[in-house]
């Protein structure tokens, strides 16, 4: 039995027979089983009864989540202007291939937000391949922290991130972008295996007063295979990043 927990998800279709559903831990967001749907019965807008080809996991938790691994579209956004809209620029939660290129983004929240949770929104799962390149971010996140911690905010809601060796998101590349910002925070990242911040240009503006939610331009926690290199920072920028509880002077 699966519950469609959030009000905005009531009544949606979640699978067809033959689809593969992943079972995800509530506290870690990590996948622990993949089963094939044999049949399903929609009871009402709140509940769906599922039958699987394989036995259910013995350690399945009542608060764990499921996601359809086959309904994960690719996303390409190019030559697009995003501004004067409410909240974030792009909220990305698909494990398909994602490319954001040659866009101009100026939003009250984060320009790009990559999240994931099994506690409130119950949105789609982890990203697996995201390329963010040749974009221009101008004075994003002036309503911080309501809609994001940084210009690019990667913040899956993991209850105990340091208790798990495996990361939730994978392969996020941020390269050759221009960031014009009034504040410190450029990139916040949580539980990513393979994150690159390379050959970007960062410039200061005085469009809004700084809010200083982030102490460092880049803050990463519980991340692996981190590359920060070849970036151009405003004069006077010294400690560039706080990575897994340590300062780094990589640029």
Q: Are residues 88 and 61 in the same domain?
A: no
Question: Which range of residues forms the domain containing residue 63?
Answer: 2-68
Residue ending a domain, among 52, 68, 84, is 68
Gap between the Cα atoms of 191 and 152, Å rounded: 14
pLDDT at 250: 62
Gap between the Cα atoms of 90 and 130, Å rounded: 12
Q: Are residues 59 and 98 in the same domain?
A: no
pLDDT at 240: 84
**Bond from prior residue into 127 cis (ω within 30 degrees of 0):** no
Gap between the Cα atoms of 59 and 212, Å rounded: 43
The per-residue pLDDT for range 30-46, each reduced to its tens digit, is 999 999 999 999 999 99
Q: Are residues 44 and 81 in the same domain?
A: no
Question: Mean pLDDT in the chain?
Answer: 94
Counting residues of the chain whose pLDDT is more than 70, the rounded percentage is 98
Q: Are residues 64 and 100 in the same domain?
A: no
Strand order in 136-138's β-sheet? Answer: 81-83, 104-106, 136-138, 178-181, 201-204
pLDDT at 146: 85
pLDDT at 130: 99
Q: Are residues 49 and 137 in the same domain?
A: no
Gap between the Cα atoms of 71 and 134, Å rounded: 28
Q: Are residues 103 and 131 in the same domain?
A: yes
- Tell me if 223 sits within 8 A of 244, measured CB to CB: yes
- The residues pairing with 226 across neighbouring beta strands, listed in sequence order, are 195
Gap between the Cα atoms of 46 and 225, Å rounded: 41
Q: Count other C-beta atoms under 10 Å from residue 47's C-beta.
A: 12
Query: Token digits for 91?
Result: 């909220």
Q: Are residues 173 and 63 in the same domain?
A: no
The per-residue pLDDT for range 179-216, each reduced to its tens digit, is 999 999 999 999 999 999 999 999 999 999 999 899 99
Count the domains in the chain: 2
Q: Are residues 234 and 119 in the same domain?
A: yes
pLDDT at 84: 85
- The residues pairing with 27 across neighbouring beta strands, listed in sequence order, are none
Q: Are residues 206 and 101 in the same domain?
A: yes
Q: Are residues 53 and 141 in the same domain?
A: no
170 pLDDT more than 80: yes
DSSP 66: E
Q: Are residues 114 and 196 in the same domain?
A: yes
Gap between the Cα atoms of 95 and 64, Å rounded: 19
Residue ending a domain, among 68, 93, 109, is 68
The per-residue pLDDT for range 141-151, each reduced to its tens digit, is 998 888 999 99
Residue ending a domain, among 44, 68, 92, is 68
DSSP 108: S
How many helices and strands (H and E) does the chain possess? 0, 23
Gap between the Cα atoms of 87 and 146, Å rounded: 8
Q: Which residue has the tokens 């983004």?
A: 105
Q: Are residues 124 and 47 in the same domain?
A: no
Alpha carbons within 13 A on the beta-carbon side of 58: 0
Query: Token digits for 175?
Result: 């390269």
pLDDT at 115: 94
Q: What is the radius of gyration, based on Cα positions, of the chain? A: 19
- Tell me if 179 sits within 8 A of 203, measured CB to CB: yes
């Amino acid at each position: 039995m699966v519950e469609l927990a959030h009000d905005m998800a009531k009544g949606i279709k979640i699978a067809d027979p033959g689809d593969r559903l992943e079972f995800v831990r509530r506290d870690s967001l990590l996948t622990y089983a993949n089963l094939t749907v044999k049949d399903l019965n929609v009871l009402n807008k709140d509940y769906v009864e599922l039958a699987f080809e394989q036995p259910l996991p013995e350690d399945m938790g009542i608060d764990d989540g499921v996601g359809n691994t086959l309904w994960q579209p690719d996303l390409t956004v190019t030559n697009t202007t995003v501004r004067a809209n409410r909240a974030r620029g792009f909220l990305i939660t698909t494990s398909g291939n994602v490319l954001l290129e040659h866009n101009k983004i100026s939003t009250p929240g984060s320009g790009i937000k990559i999240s994931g949770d099994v506690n409130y929104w119950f949105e789609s799962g982890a990203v697996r391949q995201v390329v963010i390149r040749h974009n221009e971010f101008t004075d994003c996140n002036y309503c911080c922290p309501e809609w994001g911690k940084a210009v690019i905010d990667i913040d899956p809601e993991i209850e105990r991130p340091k208790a798990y060796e495996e990361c939730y998101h994978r392969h996020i590349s941020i390269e050759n972008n221009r960031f014009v910002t009034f504040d410190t925070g450029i990139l916040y990242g949580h539980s990513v295996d393979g994150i690159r911040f390379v050959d970007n240009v960062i410039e200061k503006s005085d469009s809004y007063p700084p809010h200083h939610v982030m102490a460092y331009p880049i803050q990463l926690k519980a991340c692996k295979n981190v590359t920060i290199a070849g970036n151009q920072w405003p004069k006077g920028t010294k400690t560039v990043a706080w990575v897994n509880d340590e300062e780094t002077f990589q640029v």
